[in-house]
A and B are shown apart, each in its own frame.
Chain A
Amino acid sequence: MEFTEEQLKRYSRHIILSEVGGKGQKKISAAKVLMVGAGGLGCPVGYYLAAAGVGTIAIVDNDEVELSNLQRQIAHSVKTLGMKKADSAKQTFEALNPDVNVVAIKERINSKNILDLIRDYDIIVDGTDNFPTRYLINDACVMLGKPLVTGAILRFEGQVTTILPGDGPCYRCLFEEPPPAGLVPSCQEAGVLGVLPGVIGALQATEVLKLIIGKGKPLKGELLIYDALGVNFRKVKIPKNSECPVCGKEPTIKELSDMPEQYCEI
Chain B
Amino acid sequence: MNDINIKADRKLDIRGVVCPYTLVKSKLAVEDLELGQVLEILLDYPEAAQSIPKAMHNYGNSVLKVEQISPREWIILVKKEVED
B partners with A: yes
**Interface set of A (CB-CB < 8 Å, partner B):** 3, 8-9, 12-13, 15-16, 18, 21-23
Check A15–B84 contact: CB distance below 8 A: no
Q: Provide the residues of chain B in CB contact with A21, threshold 8 Å.
A: 27-28, 31, 84
Tell yes or no: B12 within 8 A of A by CB.
no
Check B31–A23 contact: CB distance below 8 A: yes
Question: Contacting A18 at CB < 8 Å: which of B20, B25, B84?
Answer: B84
* Number of A-B residue pairs at CB separation under 8 A: 30
Tell yes or no: B76 within 8 A of A by CB.
no
Which residue of chain A lies nearest to B58 when distances are taken between CB atoms in the complex?
Answer: A18
Tell yes or no: B24 within 8 A of A by CB.
yes
Q: Provide the residues of chain A in CB contact with B84, threshold 8 Å.
A: 18, 21, 23
Tell yes or no: B55 within 8 A of A by CB.
yes
Number of B interface residues in the complex (CB < 8 A): 13
Which residue of chain B lies nearest to A5 when distances are taken between CB atoms in the complex?
Answer: B21
**Nearest chain B CB to A3's CB is how many angstroms away?**
8
* Other A-B pairs beyond A16-B23, A21-B28, A21-B84, 15, CB < 8 Å: A3-B28, A8-B21, A9-B21, A12-B20, A12-B21, A13-B20, A15-B24, A15-B28, A16-B24, A16-B55, A18-B59, A18-B60, A21-B27, A21-B31, A22-B27
Q: Provide the residues of chain A in CB contact with B58, threshold 8 Å.
A: 18
**A interface secondary structure, majority:** helix
Check B25–A8 contact: CB distance below 8 A: yes
A21 to B60, CA, bound (A): 14
- Sampled A-B contacts (26; CB under 8 Å): A3-B28, A8-B21, A8-B24, A8-B25, A9-B21, A12-B20, A12-B24, A13-B20, A15-B24, A15-B27, A15-B28, A16-B20, A16-B24, A16-B27, A16-B55, A18-B58, A18-B60, A18-B84, A21-B27, A21-B28, A21-B31, A21-B84, A22-B27, A22-B28, A22-B31, A23-B31
Question: Binary interface profile of B, 52-77, with partner A (CB < 8 Å = 1, else 0)?
Answer: 00010011100000000000000000
Q: Provide the residues of chain B in CB contact with A3, threshold 8 Å.
A: 28
Q: Most A CB atoms within 10 A — which of B20, B21, B28, B60? A: B28
Which residue of chain A lies nearest to B82 when distances are taken between CB atoms in the complex?
Answer: A18
Which residue of chain B lies nearest to A14 when distances are taken between CB atoms in the complex?
Answer: B24
Q: Which 9 A-B pairs have the closest CB atoms?
A: A22-B28, A12-B24, A21-B84, A15-B24, A18-B59, A22-B31, A16-B23, A12-B20, A8-B24
Q: Provide the residues of chain B in CB contact with A23, threshold 8 Å.
A: 31, 84
Q: Provide the residues of chain A in CB contact with B28, threshold 8 Å.
A: 3, 15, 21-22
A23 to B20, CA, bound (A): 18
Question: Binary interface profile of B, 16-32, with partner A (CB < 8 Å = 1, else 0)?
Answer: 00001101110110010
**Nearest chain B CB to A218's CB is how many angstroms away?**
20
Q: Provide the residues of chain B in CB contact with A12, threshold 8 Å.
A: 20-21, 24
A23 to B59, CA, bound (A): 15
**Nearest chain B CB to A22's CB is how many angstroms away?**
4
Interface residues in B19-53 by Cβ distance below 8 A to A read 20-21, 23-25, 27-28, 31
Q: Provide the residues of chain A in CB contact with B23, threshold 8 Å.
A: 16
Q: Provide the residues of chain A in CB contact with B25, threshold 8 Å.
A: 8
Which residue of chain B lies nearest to A2 when distances are taken between CB atoms in the complex?
Answer: B28
Which residue of chain B lies nearest to A3 when distances are taken between CB atoms in the complex?
Answer: B28
Q: Provide the residues of chain B in CB contact with A13, threshold 8 Å.
A: 20
